[in-house]
Amino acid sequence: MIEIELDGKKIDVQEGCMIMHAAEKAGTYIPHFCYHKKLSIAANCRMCLVDVEKAPKPMPACATPVTQGMIVRTKSERAIKAQQSVMEFLLINHPLDCPICDQGGECQLQDLAVGYGGTTSRYEEEKRVVNPKDVGPLVSMQEMSRCIQCTRCVRFGQEVAGIMELGMSHRGEHAQIETFVGQSVDSELSGNMIDICPVGALTSKPFRYSARTWELSRRKSVSPHDATGANLVVQVKNNKVMRVVPLENEDVNECWIADRDRFSYEALDSADRLTKPMLKQGGEWKEVDWQTALEYVANGLQGVKAQHGPQAIGTLASPHSTAEELYLAAALTRGLGSQNIDTRLRAADFQHDGKARWLGTSVASLTTLQRVLVVGSNIRKDQPLLAQRLRQAVRNGGKVNALNAQAYDWAMPVANTLVADAANWVQALADIAAAVGAITGAAAPVAGNANSAEAQAIAKSLTGGERKAILLGNAAAHHAKASSLLSLANWIGAQTGATVGYLGEAANTVGAQVVGALPKAGGQNAGQMLAGGLKAVVLLNTEPAFDAANGAAAAQAIGQAEMVVTLSPFKANMDISDVLLPISPFTETAGTFINTEGRAQSFHGVVKPLGEARPAWKVLRVLGSMLHVPGFEFETIEEVRAQAIPADVQALLSNACTAQVDVSPAAGQPASAAIYQLDSLVRRAPSLQLTADAKQPAVAAQSQGGL
């Protein structure tokens, strides 16, 4: 630590840090544009010029390291004059379009111009004009004349997203930010460029011209998509969600969110929303009141129970539902005498010991890992924010290894990739285990080829370093021999000192296990229920045609039941359902998501339910009361939460597995949803469906069909 003087105050700061960091520690604000705490230092804008004693000229605070005894003045006449001069230069070519700019009200240039800008400009020449650019459905570059060349967006692409989609071309007055020869911006994190742009050069295309920032109410929430549990600020106007931006949480999502977290809100007001209960009568759908619909469901379930027994009733729920909803769905099913409750619609191996499978470490610790093995995951698309953490680890010297069916582009250097058909993943992991055993001297749990070059390279990597992790992805979790993969991963982890865990597919993959939304003894798992045979099926927030491993066959099998009840925010499963109950999406209900590290995060509804939609927990509570199920006397969501979620969630987390390893080839391919097909919200978000990522599955399907 060294001592410096900042505006007359003596402070102790870390040697080698910049004046900007010292000022942040002291609580002193220095105006800036190009500096961002999560990006490298560029020192482009010069707005942060400060007066350093004995320096011949003002120095940029973001790029000037502190020295022992340094005296810095941020508000001296010299510093202020320098900052005012920089502001004058920045405003020379800037268009005077604040009244129509989407950034108005949250624009750094606007704010600092008030403090450091002049009342008039000395510039009388013609202002430069930059041609607008179309770079895709999410980010608007229509007003690039506003750009001040801070290069935040360029550095974000290089350093965080891992792909340099934007760059600066030309020099001087002709410099401009653009893509390479008409390419689009396709990163799954591209929306963050909008947030970090300090002016209105990059704006949100879906949000464009829809509201002014000062008209919006800001409410905290949690992402309902992947298992990261990203914290959100949902911005609302007239009881309508207008925009979603990140809420900073260093332990979870830092200050970033994925594009599906940001833009899925478009689905909330889609024409597909279900706003009234509906019954199918004579093959036609009719809107009815809640009393009629609920009585129909209650009488139907009681009739099936009386005629076929309770085991003929089953519930399939989405792991994107809240913990409270999943708890009540499980309690309702068991209250009817059935153990048929499951959320693992894409799984093929249903062995479970009662403990919740989780990440095995904290989300924040991924940034510090030195050695990683990812098994069965396209992590960049499955968990964009976790991939971003691994990207930081690689930038800090970490090595990432992969076992997959193909070599994916993760926008980061991958040290070693073992490519094997999914049917042979257990054998491939056994080869790695054998290679690890050859290094450590331990006897491998099953026979493997320790001489495989790829296996040896991965084993050598895993036995080096200190902080390590083996991460099983969605495809590994849904593999026909998922238990064998986990057993082998645990053995390798024990030999190398690596933690073992699942990346997690959905917002409540862990939460569903914690609250017991899994079949107990005598109950059917999701695979058995989706094969058909049930007489009554309750579908909570799920669409078997899209969410099940074999969607078409699953939907057909479910459709054979005497009664199918769908609880959904959307007009879903209309071809197989007998009754549709409109429930609230995450923005219209309170609830809790437990992310992949076991962090329980509760949130409130940010708008009123649309039409006659009701929170699912209330619908399930009423159904439980009508069916005379004991323990459904809840008045508030807090009462349900207290009952559903134990005080110590961590005690229920474990990746231990005693399953015998079976290296024989597995049948079938593991099911894994594309990035914008994961849940009902992203599937109905128009802008997300226009992206390159959304179009890829269709292109792949066409190529497989021989077109």
**Which pLDDT score, from 0 to 100, does residue 124 have?**
82
pLDDT band at 700 (very low <50, low <70, confident <90, very high): very low
**Residue range 60-88: mean pLDDT, rounded:** 93
In the numeric block, the tokens 């429930």 are attached to 583
Res 155 pLDDT > 70: yes
pLDDT band at 697 (very low <50, low <70, confident <90, very high): low
Adjacent-strand bridge partners of 169: 176
pLDDT band at 173 (very low <50, low <70, confident <90, very high): confident
Strand locations in 197-259, DSSP E?
A: 203-204, 217-222, 231-237, 240-246
CA–CA distance, 632 with 530 (Å, rounded to integer): 28
% of the chain at pLDDT higher than 90: 85
**Which pLDDT score, from 0 to 100, does residue 398 have?**
95
Cα angle 508-254-466, degrees, rounded to a multiple of 5? 85
The 3-state secondary structure of 491-523, one letter per residue: HHHHHHCCEEEECCCCCCHHHHHHCCCCCCCCC
Res 243 pLDDT > 70: yes
CA-to-CA dists, residue 395 to 160, 263, 399, 482, angstroms: 10, 29, 9, 31
Query: Measured on CA atoms in the order 691, 692, 695, 697, is the torsion positive or negative?
Result: negative
CA-to-CA dists, residue 609 to 234, 268, 292, 619, angstroms: 15, 10, 20, 13
Helix orientation angle between 637-644 and 323-335, rounded to the nearest 10 degrees:
70
Res 526 pLDDT > 80: yes
Res 702 pLDDT > 70: no
CA–CA distance, 132 with 135 (Å, rounded to integer): 10
**Residue range 425-444: mean pLDDT, rounded:** 94
**How long is the chain?**
707
List the one residue out of 545, 542, 528 whose CA is nearest residue 329: 542
Res 49 pLDDT > 80: yes
Res 706 pLDDT > 50: no
**Which pLDDT score, from 0 to 100, does residue 121 have?**
82
Helix orientation angle between 453-462 and 425-440, rounded to the nearest 10 degrees:
60
Strand locations in 162-202, DSSP E?
A: 167-169, 176-178
Q: Decide the pairing of beta strands 499-502 and 468-472.
A: parallel
**Residue range 328-338: mean pLDDT, rounded:** 96
Res 692 pLDDT > 90: yes
Helix orientation angle between 637-644 and 616-626, rounded to the nearest 10 degrees:
80
**Which pLDDT score, from 0 to 100, does residue 108 have?**
92
**Which pLDDT score, from 0 to 100, does residue 32 have?**
94
In the numeric block, the tokens 């370093």 are attached to 465
CA-to-CA dists, residue 495 to 398, 438, 466, 474, 594, angstroms: 19, 11, 13, 24, 30
List the one residue out of 377, 372, 373 whose CA is nearest residue 405: 377
**Which pLDDT score, from 0 to 100, does residue 673 have?**
92
CA–CA distance, 105 with 623 (Å, rounded to integer): 47
Q: Cβ distance 361 to 468 under 8 Å?
A: no
Q: What are phi and psi of 218, to 5 degrees?
A: -115, 125
**Residue range 688-693: mean pLDDT, rounded:** 94
**Residue range 682-689: mean pLDDT, rounded:** 96
pLDDT band at 696 (very low <50, low <70, confident <90, very high): confident
Q: What is the mean pLDDT of the chain?
A: 93
Strand locations in 569-686, DSSP E?
A: 579-582, 591-594, 600-603
pLDDT band at 450 (very low <50, low <70, confident <90, very high): confident
Instruction: Express each pLDDT in 546-566 by its tens digit.
Output: 999 898 999 999 999 999 999
**Residue range 496-500: mean pLDDT, rounded:** 96
**Which pLDDT score, from 0 to 100, does residue 364 have?**
96
**Residue range 384-404: mean pLDDT, rounded:** 96
CA–CA distance, 584 with 614 (Å, rounded to integer): 5
Q: Cβ distance 519 to 339 under 8 Å?
A: yes
pLDDT band at 699 (very low <50, low <70, confident <90, very high): very low
Instruction: Express each pLDDT in 112-142 by its tens digit.
Output: 999 888 888 888 888 888 999 999 999 999 9
List the one residue out of 582, 690, 570, 542 whose CA is nearest residue 271: 570
Tokens of 178: 């653009």
Where is average pLDDT lowest: 119-123, 230-234, 280-284, 500-504?
A: 119-123
Adjacent-strand bridge partners of 503: none
Instruction: Express each pLDDT in 14-31 by its tens digit.
Output: 988 999 999 999 999 999
Query: Measured on CA atoms in the order 121, 123, 129, 135, is the torsion positive or negative?
Result: negative
Res 626 pLDDT > 50: yes
Res 444 pLDDT > 70: yes
